[in-house]
Chains A and B, each alone.
Chain A
Amino acid sequence: MEKSTDITKRGLAQMLKGGVIMDVVTAEHAKIAEDAGAVAVMALERVPADIRAQGGVARMSDPALIKTIMDEVTIPVMAKVRIGHFVEAQILESIGVDYIDESEVLTPADDKHHINKNLFKIPFVCGAQDLGEALRRIAEGASMIRTKGEAGTGNVVEAVIHMRKIMDEIRKLNNMDKTELMAEAKNLGAPYNLIVEIAETGKLPVVNFAAGGIATPADAALMMQLGAEGVFVGSGIFKSENPQKMAQAIVEAVTNCDNPDVLAKISEGLGRAMYGIELSVIEEKDRLSVRGW
C-alpha cells in the first residue's frame, strides 16, 4: 500500500473538477457551502476582501478554527499558508487538512523561494499568472494549479488574463518545433522536462482551476469556457447579499457553463453581488497577484 503518491495527490484535484471550492471563515459558513454543493471548502480567518481592507500581516489561520470546520463537513477541507512558510505547512499537515494552498493572499514569508512541496505528504495547490509560474510550482511539487486573479476585488479581469495567458502558452508549445523547446523553457523560466511533456500532451499535468475575483454565476461560467476545470470563490459568496443563493447558483453555473438558457435562469434574483473594485485604483504594491517568484 503506497500513500501520498503523485496519483493520489493529483487525483483528489481530479475528483474536484467541475466543482466550486468556497472560502469559509466559520463552521456555519462551511455547512452553508456544503449544502449548496461545494466540492471543498477553504478554511480561513478572513476572506480576501477583508484582508485587503484591513491590511497588516495575513498568516495561516488558527488550527482550532480549521479543526472545527473539518469536524463540521464531510467534503475536503483546504487551508492556506504563506508563500515559503514551510512550518505553517508542517502544522497543517500535522492536523491533517486535505489540501494546502500556498497562497499569495497571505503575506509572503520568503521573498525568493516557495515551499519545497515534494517533501510533503499533503498535496498543494498554488497560484499562477502564466505557464512558466505554473510549471515552476509543479516542479516544486504542486499537485494542482489555479489562476491568481486579483483576490478580494470581485473583479474577474485578472483571472481572465491569467487563464488566457496559460492556455495560449500551452497551445503555442503544442505547435512548436521540438528544436525550439529549450529556448522556450528559458523564455518561460520553466523546467525543460515539463515543457517537453506539455508540448506532447497539449495540457498541464495537473488540474487547473480559476481563482481571484469571481463574484457571479456568469463569472464562473466565463472561466470554465476559457478552459478552467473548476473555480475557487473567495469573497464572492459570503460578501454577497444572499450567500446561500449565490453559492448554489455558482455551483450550478459551473456544471451548466455552456448552457445560456440555464445560466439565465439561475442568474435571476440573486440579490446584490459583492461590491467590486476597479483594478486601476489598486496600486502595483497593493496587488496580491504579483506575489510569487
Chain B
Amino acid sequence: MKMRIGVLALQGSFAEHMESLHAAGAKPVPVKYPEQLDGIDALIIPGGESTTIRKLLNRYNVGIKIIDLANKGLPVYGTCAGMIALAKHIEYPEYAILGLMDITVQRNAFGRQLESFEENLDIPLLGKKSFRAVFIRAPLIKDTGKKVDVIARLKDGRIVAAEQDNLMVSSFHPELTGDLRMHQYFLTKVKNT
C-alpha cells in the first residue's frame, strides 16, 4: 500500500510537492478542508506566502486540526512558508501560526527577491552527493530548542533545515529541483513513526 501524504493546498507550490511525492512512490492527497486530513499518513505544508497561508489556515479550522494531529504524532514537513507555519517563534511580526516546533525563524532573512539564490548543500543525512537547494525570499532558523536536530546548514553555519520528533522543516524548496532525496528522507521518517 502506498503511503497517503497530505499536501496543504490552500496556496503556494502544492502541485510541485504532489509531483515530487508521486515520483517518490507515495500517494499525494490535496488538503483544503479539515475532513481531508482524515486517513493521511503525513502532511506537507508547501512554500507560498506565509501571511496568506496563515489567514486561510484560520478560516476553515484546518489549522486547529493540524495542531491536534501533529501533537498526536502525525509527521509534518514544512518548506519555506511551511517552516514559518510550524515554528513556535517568529522574529517579525511576532506571531506563531501553528506554533509546533521549537525553533525561532526569521522571515525574508536574506532580503528581497534579488537576494534569492541557489546553493549546493552538503547534507550528511542524504549521502555524499550535494543537494541543490533553492532559496526564494527564504526564512532562516535563528535558534533551535533542545529537542531539535539540525539537518542542513549553509557553508557559514546558518541553519536551513531541521527536525524534531515527527516534525521537519527546510528554508529551501526541494519541490522545485526534481532531486527527491528530501522527500524520500521524509517518507522514511513517516514509515518509522
A contact residues vs B (CB 8 Å cutoff): 1-5, 7-8, 11-12, 14-19, 34, 36-40, 70, 74-76, 93, 96-99, 121-123, 251-252, 254-256, 259
Binding site for A on B (CB under 8 A): 9-16, 32, 47-49, 51-52, 55-56, 59, 80-81, 92-93, 107-108, 112-119, 134-137, 173, 176-177
The residue in chain A whose Cβ has the minimal distance to the Cβ of B81 is A15
CB distance from B8 to the nearest CB of A (A): 11
Residue of B47, B52, B92, B176 ringed by the most chain A CB atoms within 10 A: B52
Contacts of B107 on A, CB cut-off 8 Å? 74
Given A2-B117, A76-B113, A98-B112, A17-B55 contact (CB < 8 Å): no
The 5 A-B residue pairs whose C-beta atoms are closest, nearest first, are A98-B113, A37-B55, A8-B116, A18-B11, A39-B49
The interface residues of chain A lying within 8 Å CB-to-CB of B10 are: 18, 255
A-B contact pairs, 11 of them (CB 8 A): A8-B134, A11-B136, A12-B137, A16-B48, A17-B13, A17-B14, A34-B51, A39-B48, A39-B52, A255-B10, A255-B32
Flag if B9 contacts A18 (CB, 8 Å).
Answer: yes
Q: B118 near A18 (CB under 8 angstroms)? A: no
Which residues of chain A are near B118, meaning CB under 8 Å?
A: 1-2, 5, 7-8
Query: Which residue of B48, B49, B117 is within 8 Å of A1 (Cβ)?
Result: B117
Contact status A14-B16, CB under 8 Å: yes
Further 9 A-B residue pairs, CB within 8 A, beyond A15-B13, A18-B11? A1-B119, A7-B177, A8-B116, A15-B12, A15-B49, A98-B113, A123-B113, A252-B56, A255-B11
- Whether A76 pairs with B137 at a CB distance below 8 angstroms is yes
Q: Which of A7, A11, A39, A74 contacts B11, CB < 8 Å? A: A39
CA distance A4 to B80 in the complex (A): 18
Q: Which residues from B are CB-within-8-Å of A38? A: 52
Q: A120 to chain B: closest CB distance in Å? A: 10
In the assembly, what is the distance between CA of A96 and CA of B114, in Å?
7
Q: Which residues of B contact A18 (CB under 8 A)?
A: 9-12, 14, 48
How far, in whole Å, are A96 and B111 apart by their CA atoms in the complex? 10
Q: Which residues of B contact A17 (CB under 8 A)?
A: 11-15, 48
Docked Cα-Cα span, A5 to B176, in Å, equals: 13
Q: How far is the CA of A98 from the CA of B115 in the complex (A)?
A: 10
Q: For the complex, what is the distance from the CA of A97 to the CA of B113, rounded to whole Å? A: 8
A8 to chain B, nearest CB (A): 4
Q: How far is the CA of A256 from the CA of B55 in the complex (A)?
A: 14
- Give complex CA distance A15, B12 in Å: 5
Enumerate chain B residues within 8 angstroms of A75, measured Cβ to Cβ. Answer: 49, 51-52
In the complex, which residue of chain B has the Cβ closest to the Cβ of A252?
Answer: B59
Interface residue from A2, A16, A96 paired with B112 (Cβ < 8 Å): A96
- B160 CB to closest chain A CB, in angstroms? 13
When distances are taken between beta carbons in the complex, the residues of chain B under 8 Å from A37 are 51-52, 55-56
**Contact partners of B14 in chain A: CB under 8 A:** 17-18
Known: A7-B176, A7-B177, A19-B48. A14 touches B13 (CB 8 A): yes
Distance, CA A175 to CA B80, complexed state (A): 37
Which A residues lie within 8 Å of B13 (CB)?
Answer: 14-15, 17
Closest to B54 in A: A37
Docked pose: A2 CA to B135 CA in angstroms:
10
Contacts of B136 in A (CB 8 A): 8, 11-12, 15
